[in-house]
Amino acid sequence: MWAVVDIAPNRAIADMIKELLEKEGLLVMIRPLGVPHLGASGSYEVLVPESEVPQAQEVLARIMGS
């Protein structure tokens, strides 16, 4: 199962978060959240496998804290 670890305000930021998590060796998936017609400007969920949630949260805390 996949778990949401972040919600990005748009596709560009979701892609950036995805890339940073993947550089740490995590599997990452993004998917649109809410209204589909907003396209890339809508919010996106950033998901990782449930087993990788603690590591993803640690990476995100490190990134957001800097």
The pLDDT score that the predictor gives to residue 65 is 79
> What pLDDT, in 10s, does the model give residues 9-61?
999 999 999 999 999 999 999 999 877 666 667 899 999 999 999 999 999 99
| Domain residue ranges in the chain | 2-65
Q: How confident is the model at residue 64 (pLDDT cuts 50, 70, 90)?
A: confident
- 2-65: CATH topology is Alpha-Beta Plaits (3.30.70)
For the chain, count helices (H), then strands (E): 2, 3
Q: Partners of 48 in the beta sheet?
A: 3
**CB atoms near residue 40 (< 10 Å):** 11
